[in-house]
């Protein structure tokens, strides 16, 4: 699986992967399947943080079929019917990626892996957690372990444009899994990134410190968390 290093401390502290099925000579398949376990075993052994950045997941080909488009998908180039796309169902690769990490057992086989999907607006989190918990209540035998506990253990949430971080805490997500961030100066980013400190100012001081930098520093083992 091709990866890209991204780090401020050492070349092995973070790696970035595409949130999408992996192209192989046998076709596309999830990166969370057991055949990729040798890769993940080394990631876990090295203590590497797994960044998962938003981008082209390859899902456009499904929409293209409805439009009858057979040409190659070109990013940032609109094709087909705008009205159709405005009404069509949402295809959420971050939902599917997290569902695969948990549902295909990757996070159970490697319980210390740290996954950080970033630059996905945090609106995906609440519906995903509710759907996940409902699925577990209906059919617990489908799961290797409680998926909510897996989520809290292995998934770090980038609270991108999140107006109510306390709501996420109230759902049971710990502050040391919530991370502030901004895509500034990109147009979809926060215009004044540090103003997010005002959004969290009514939280406990420890939670504020974690969200505004401590969570990421702890996961990356930098600063005062270097020996944590």
Q: What would the two tokens of residue 12 be?
A: 């092995």
**DSSP assignment letter at 155:** B
The DSSP-derived string for 83-141 is HHHHHSPP--HHHHHHHHHHHTSHHHHSTT-EEEEESS-GGGHHHHHHHHHHHHHH-GG
Give the pLDDT of residue 76.
60
Q: What is the CA radius of gyration of the chain?
A: 18
Please give the Cα distance from 67 to 87 (Å, whole number): 13
Tens of pLDDT, residue by residue over 119-131, are: 888 999 999 999 9
Mean pLDDT of the 168-191 span: 91
Give the pLDDT of residue 165.
96
Domains of the chain by range and CATH? 4-225 (3.20.20.140)
CA-nearest of 81, 84, 25, 21 to 57 is: 21
What's the CA dihedral at 145, 146, 151, 154 to 10 degrees?
-30
Tens of pLDDT, residue by residue over 35-52, are: 999 999 999 999 999 999
Average pLDDT over all residues of the chain: 88
Please give the Cα distance from 140 to 162 (Å, whole number): 30
Q: State yes or no: pLDDT of 143 exceeds 50.
A: yes
E strands within 141-212?
157-158, 178-179
């Amino acid at each position: 699986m091709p990866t890209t290093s991204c780090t401020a401390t050492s070349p092995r502290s973070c790696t970035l992967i595409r949130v999408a099925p992996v192209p192989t000579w046998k076709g596309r398949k999830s990166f969370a399947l057991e055949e990729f376990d040798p890769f993940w075993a080394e990631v876990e052994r090295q203590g590497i943080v797994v960044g998962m950045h938003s981008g082209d997941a390859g899902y456009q080909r499904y929409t293209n079929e409805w439009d009858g488009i057979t040409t190659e998908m070109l990013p940032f180039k609109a094709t087909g019917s705008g009205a159709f796309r405005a009404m069509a169902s949402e295809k959420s690769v971050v939902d599917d990626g997290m569902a695969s990490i948990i549902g295909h057992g990757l996070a159970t086989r490697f319980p210390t892996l740290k996954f950080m999907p970033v630059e996905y607006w945090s609106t995906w989190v609440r519906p995903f957690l509710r759907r996940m918990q409902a699925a577990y209540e209906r059919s617990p035998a489908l799961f290797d372990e409680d998926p909510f506990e897996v989520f809290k253990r292995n998934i770090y949430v980038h609270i991108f444009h999140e107006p109510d971080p306390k709501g996420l805490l109230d759902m049971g997500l710990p502050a040391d899994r919530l991370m502030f961030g901004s895509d500034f100066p990109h147009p979809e980013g926060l215009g004044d990134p540090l103003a997010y400190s005002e959004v969290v100012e009514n939280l406990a001081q420890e939670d504020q410190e974690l969200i505004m930098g401590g969570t990421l520093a702890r996961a990356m083992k930098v600063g005062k968390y270097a020996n944590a």
